[in-house]
A and B are shown apart, each in its own frame.
Chain A
Amino acid sequence: MGIVLINGREVEVGDKERLNGIQAAERAGVEIPHYCWHAGLTVVASCRMCLVESGTRNAETGAISMMPKLVPACQTPAKDGTVFVTDSENVRKARAMVEEDLLIDHPIDCPICDKAGECRLQDYHFEHGQNERRADIRPFTSRRRDMGDTVTLFVDRCVMCTRCVRFTREISGTSELMVINRGSHEEIDVLAGFPLDNKLSGNVVDLCPVGALGDKDFLYRQRVWFLKQHNGVCTGCSTGCSITVEENQDHVWRLKPRENPHVNKWWMCDDGRYGYHHVHSPERQVGLRKRENGVHANIEWATLPAELQASLVAAGRLAAVISPHLTVEEAYLLAKYIRGIDSSAVLSIGPVPVVGQDETFKNGFTIRAEKAPNRRGVEAIIKHFGGHLNFNDFLGELDKSEIRAAWLTAGYPSAWHDAALAERFADLDVLIVQDLFDSPLWDLATYQVPGGSFAERDGSYVNHGDRLQPAKWAVRPPTGAWVEGPLYWRLLQLPGMFNSRKVLDEVAAEIPYFAVAGDEVPDTGVDLKLNQLAAAPTT
């Protein structure tokens, strides 16, 4: 254990920790402003915003010797005895000059800049900038340069932190971005004919500390100060990136990666980032309907529990297909509900889409071919209840015609079956389809139950690496739709409102695989393998 001195305050750093001045200061609650440094990228120390005074404390005498010059905190290791002074006159002066320098060429177009409200230049100016503008004010052009399908560059706003360039070199490994020209003529650009075109491209917008790089998907659609952030999990593939779902008035406007060292570091892929539009698709089904005499007619949600109970009891042998898009809690509640009606009901996981191969980038970030967020979680639930872990096995069971009623859950963002598969369910007495969109199965359903999307769910997902991560609902479902969790809660006649934590507690208590989730689950999730390791016999 080492001691680092931040403005006279002692901060402990572990022997194996490799912190720089910015990180050590953060631990002491001191923010050192910075533009170019990012924990996930190499250090270039070029913005010079994090200049501080540094020195060393003699372990024996306690005497402190300071270096004569300012040093960038991002590049200075915080070791035992390192001293940082972040609030001296020299430091303040250097920061103020950097801010003033950056604003010379930066258009003061905050009213129209997409980044206003979350711009570091804006924030730091108020905290560290000069009181007056001393450089001559010149007309700005706000030139805009197309970088690719997803990202646009406002050239004048760029502060040349080169985070985006380093990202394409170090993380995506695609190297589309570069710095052209020299000195104050420098600009970010792509080689003609080779635009920013990789599946991690959206991350450069997140990385940009100012409003230079704009996300075309989000540009001019919302002011960021209207947005509320909700911790979520990307449901685009089995990586299960930690994200924030950013919404305003029940409309999701963008998804952003959330730092999670165990899963996605700071990144997410474009498939996931832009994969939220189905949440607000006009094609979403929002009416609860029952088919009678070959015609679907709306029914009230209030009558559904009794209707389902009667229909399913009457049908005899039941089956439930639990989608890998459902949360652990939802899967558990549905399985419990179905088994409550028919203790020998067949349970199966729904189809698990697999598209192509895993796609791994230079730094190891992987987009999984398995396009479902919770196969492992659902499988564990089904295994607990003694069901099928393979949808094809279930179909074989279905074909034996002993099953008379089935509940199919979906939640897939796009088509997940065809008419031929739907035909195999045609002979059932009762078919409950809970989905987002119209489909052959939906048309065939006895009960058409509009369900919730990922942004509306509350619960947890288990990713490919057995990491259970909690997700909070961000928006309410469209009028007429019910999210699965609250519906199952109601069907089970549980008291009060749906509470995913209570369900998880029950799951953790009942199913050893989830035992570790019985304790507090941090936002970055828990590794369910830890529990397995603990339970493994010792040799």
Chain B
Amino acid sequence: MLQFEPVLLANINKPDSHTRAVYESAGGYGALRKVLAEMQPPALIELVKNSNLRGRGGAGFPTGLKWTFLPKDHPGPIYMCINADESEPGTFNNRILMEEDPHQVIEGIILSCYATKAKTAYLYVRYEYPLCLERLQRAIDECYAAGYLGKNILGSEFSLDIFLHRGAAAYICGEETGLIESLEGKRAWPRIKPPFPAVEGVFHKPTVVNNIETVACVTHIVNRGVEWFKSIGVPADPNNPRDPGSYGPKLYCLSGHVNKPGCYEAPLGITCRQLIDEYGGGVWKGRKGKAAIPGGISMGLLTEKEFDTPLDFSGPGRVGCLGLGTAAVVVLDETVSMVDFLHNSCRFFQHESCGQCTPCREGTRWSLEMLERIKAGKGRLRDLDLLLEIGDSIGIIPGTTICGLADGAAWPIKNAIRKFRGEFEDYIKRTNPQGYAVTHAVKALPVLASH
């Protein structure tokens, strides 16, 4: 096990860890008191900027920089949206924080709002997390009672209200602008940008959207300082100006075919193999690993040979994946059929596509239909190239859709077929040895039934 002191999960094994009393007994809300007493909002933003904290929601955008995009001296209101619509398959790190240590999250929200001068925060929690909703609401109520929320927090001039919002149970509700649309009571169709949320977000006002784990990190940066935060993780690559480094602790969700699935806190940069072997107890049933999803299904696939890839914001990208994503590692053992894996992946994205953009709406469905046909023993070898082309058109070519869902749908296709092409070809040859044509008969002209 790596030598590392967990902070994000430090409290979760305590009895009643979700209560204010337990949180306070471990020094909870100390960061808030310190900030209110000692720091002005710009100083807090500067602190977070200096820490190089990158968003934990999936994109890894520098948090402090994001906050600076808010218009200067805006008369307000400025809104903070906390994205707790955790929908990426295999991802449950936010859930752990919300269920087991909601006060840590709330303190982070308060600090983030203080930095951005937001007086209203919306906590957008996914529909399927009833316990999160219950515990967060209780925690919010406790905070109001203790003066951590409401008017003039702890006697300062800073006031904040947090509203809990139950999401609409769709993957796209977790997309930054889809979340905003949903919060406004509309269909969660991602917005075209510009304007970016920092300029025009919720109710046409400047808005910051941050992830649960991201704001939780803010608390610890205040408590322990930038040096501590930057001592963890992977430093910036001096030869690559686009790599600002991956600093700080990270929650990794480990699931799939491992002996000890769970949510683990580890330094950014831990390798996939370390995570599986040292935290997950190795691949289950004594089998060998075949592949792993590095950070949610939308990030692509690591082969067993790539298990030594560091799981920082840049690592997975170096081996042909999209990125670290939500750091949800799903392990596939040697018995898993990649055809089944890709079929499931396509099924998920086809189901979750919001349908706004043509390439995503039709491309996800087309790829699923092809996978269904291949699975049914009617595949053709050329289908694989066509799948890759569809993947390119829906997501790999940047800009073809408004949001990133299509990218997410494309990377598993690209990775699975490129990295496991032989297996797909074998499957097709085995199940459809004659390679016969499978085009459905064309019906006569359709009947125009009226109803």
Contact = CB atoms under 8 A, between A and B. Distances in A.
Interface of A: 43-49, 51, 67-72, 75, 90, 93-94, 97-98, 101-102, 104-105, 107, 109, 111-112, 134-146, 152, 154, 156, 159-160, 179, 181-186
Nearest to B365: A184
A181 B187 CA distance: 10
A525 to B, nearest CB: 35
Contacts of A156: 446
B2 interface: no
Which 5 pairs from chain A and chain B are nearest by CB?
Answer: A69-B399, A69-B398, A101-B362, A184-B365, A142-B446
B364 A183 contact: yes
B357 A46 contact: yes
Given A98-B359, A144-B451, A182-B353, A109 B400 contact: no
B448 interface: yes
Given A144-B449, A146-B451, A160-B361, A184 B353 contact: yes
B195 to A, nearest CB: 11
A90 B397 contact: yes
Nearest to A70: B399
Contact of A160 (B351, B355, B364, B443): B355
Contacts of B449: 141-144
A111 B398 CA distance: 37
Contacts of B357: 46-48
Contacts of B443: 139-140
Contacts of B353: 182-184
A179 B354 CA distance: 11
A298 B27 CA distance: 107
Interface in B426-445: 438-443, 445
Contact of A144 (B350, B352, B448): B448
Nearest to A178: B187
Contacts, number: 137
B8 to A, nearest CB: 34
Contacts of B451: 143-146
A287 to B, nearest CB: 42
B373 A136 contact: yes
A10 B144 CA distance: 61
B362 A102 contact: yes
Nearest to A53: B399
B373 A51 contact: no
A97 B361 contact: no
Given A70-B398, A146-B451, A141 B446 contact: yes
Interface string B337-362: 00000000000001111111111011
Given A142-B447, A184-B365, 18 more contacts: A45-B402, A46-B356, A48-B358, A51-B400, A97-B393, A107-B446, A135-B366, A139-B440, A140-B443, A141-B446, A146-B450, A152-B450, A156-B446, A160-B361, A183-B355, A183-B361, A184-B353, A184-B361
A49 B445 contact: no
Contact of B358 (A138, A143, A159): A159
A179 B181 CA distance: 15
Contacts of B365: 104-105, 183-184
Contacts of B398: 68-70
Contacts of B389: 97
Interface in B373-390: 373, 386, 389-390
B450 A70 contact: no
6 contacts: A97-B363, A97-B390, A105-B365, A136-B439, A181-B355, A182-B353
Contact of B356 (A43, A44, A137): A44
Contacts of A182: 170, 351-355
A56 B173 CA distance: 34
Max chain B CB contacts within 10 Å: which of A68, A97, A109, A183?
Answer: A183
A49 B401 CA distance: 11
A518 to B, nearest CB: 47
Interface of B: 170, 187, 192, 350-359, 361-366, 369-370, 373, 386, 389-390, 393, 397-402, 438-443, 445-451
Max chain A CB contacts within 10 Å: which of B366, B369, B438?
Answer: B366
Given A69-B398, A70-B398, A182-B354, A101 B363 contact: yes
A135 B353 CA distance: 19
A93 B354 CA distance: 23
A456 to B, nearest CB: 35
A184 B364 contact: yes
A111 B444 CA distance: 12
B290 to A, nearest CB: 30
Contacts of A139: 440-443, 446
Contacts of B363: 97, 101
A109 B187 CA distance: 32
A105 B363 CA distance: 11
B448 A98 contact: no
A47 B350 CA distance: 17
A105 B350 CA distance: 14
A183 B358 contact: no
Contacts of B402: 45-46
B448 A112 contact: yes
Contacts of B366: 101, 104, 135
Nearest to A94: B400
A186 B361 contact: yes
A161 to B, nearest CB: 9
Given A48-B400, A183-B352, A184-B350, A94 B393 contact: yes
Contact of B362 (A43, A134, A184): A184
Contact of B354 (A71, A105, A135, A183): A183
Contacts of A105: 362, 365
Contacts of A144: 448-451
Contacts of B192: 43-45, 72, 75
B27 to A, nearest CB: 45
A56 to B, nearest CB: 15
B420 to A, nearest CB: 23
A71 B399 contact: yes
A98 to B, nearest CB: 5
Nearest to A49: B358
Contacts of A181: 355
Nearest to A182: B355
Contacts of A49: 358
